[in-house]
Amino acid sequence: MKIDRSFVSRGIIDYENLNIVETIITLAHKLGVDVTAEGVETEEQLALLRNLNCEYGQGYFFSHPLDSSQAAELIMTNPQW
């Protein structure tokens, strides 16, 4: 399940967004699926998402957009977020 970047990139520190993000993660886990947060741009966002047990993240914090060969290289050199 994905968390839309609109909840993350605006800053999930905002109480309302934090509640929505936490609810999405809880729902996904109750359904037995992993969660990917889109729009991760800061270390603070990443730390909070990890704290909420979000399994995956994507966004400019990790890399700018890449073609398939560059993405494969990035994954092989840094397989975990």
Chain segment 67-79, per-residue pLDDT in tens? 999 988 888 887 6
Structural contact between residues 53 and 26, judged by C-beta atoms closer than 8 angstroms? no
Give dist(CA 31, CA 23) in Å, integer: 12
Name residue, tokens 């990917």: 36
Tell me the whole-structure pTM to 2 decimals.
Answer: 0.82
Separate counts of helices (H) and strands (E) for the chain: 4, 3
Per-residue model confidence as pLDDT tens digits over 10-64: 776 677 889 999 999 999 999 999 999 999 999 999 999 999 999 999 999 988 9
